[in-house]
Amino acid sequence: AWDGYELTIRAILGQQISVKAATTIAGRVAARYGDVFTISADVEGPQLNRLFPTPERLSRARFHDIGIVQSRAATIRRVSMAVARGDVSFDAAQDPDEFCESLKAIKGIGEWTAQYVAMRALKSPDAFPGSDLGLISAIAHPDRVAPKELLTRAEDWRPWRAYAAMLLWGSLPGSGG
């Protein structure tokens, strides 16, 4: 991902809703709290015109009338405060397990979010969001598997579980994979 902080906020926004709904809400967050910028280019159609909001800005955001439940808004503020203070860093050189533990120490962040962010932002090849419904759906043939069973199966894929996750997601109908 281009920016670990933005990815983390988008992951939080996407918890328990569709990707399309999360994208819509992320656009609202950027429109309301992001800084405006212009690109001088002769490009037809819609153009980028907002920067994603800074951690300092979202640590104080109210998120009223934007489509975010209050518990999720509170999690975004807590993560934003931790990033602004330097308690959470997206430096890819850090130990992914330690990163996940520091992220999970923030109320509202669970294992799925921490593993997803480690996979995408830190580029950890062994991160694995084992409770992901898409991964469960992709591997559930012929019977549905529980997250615990998926994690057990994924042990054989170490240290490349993130690659397995990408392949599983890509195997889903409509994924383009």
Average pLDDT over the chain, rounded to whole? 92
Residue 35: alpha-carbon gap to chain centroid: 21
Which spans in 34-160 are helix H? 55-58, 70-85, 96-104, 111-120, 133-139, 147-154
Question: Tens digits of per-residue pLDDT, 116-165?
Answer: 999 999 999 999 999 998 899 898 777 788 999 999 999 999 999 999 99
Residue 16, pLDDT score:
79
Residue 1, pLDDT score:
66
Could you tell me if residue 126 is left (phi over 0), alpha (psi between -120 and 50 degrees) or otherwise beta? Answer: alpha
Answer positive or negative: Cα dihedral of 66, 61, 38, 121.
negative
Q: CA-CA distances (angstroms) from residue 92 to 77, 109, 116, 119, 169?
A: 23, 19, 14, 10, 23
* Cβ atoms of residues 32 and 54 within 8 Å: no
Distance CA 117, CA 7 (A): 7
> How many other β-carbons are positioned within 10 Å of the β-carbon of residue 43?
9
3-state secondary structure of 36: strand
In degrees, to the nearest 5, what angle opens at C-alpha 58 toward C-alphas 51 and 166? 70
Name the pLDDT band for 177 (thresholds 50, 70, 90).
low
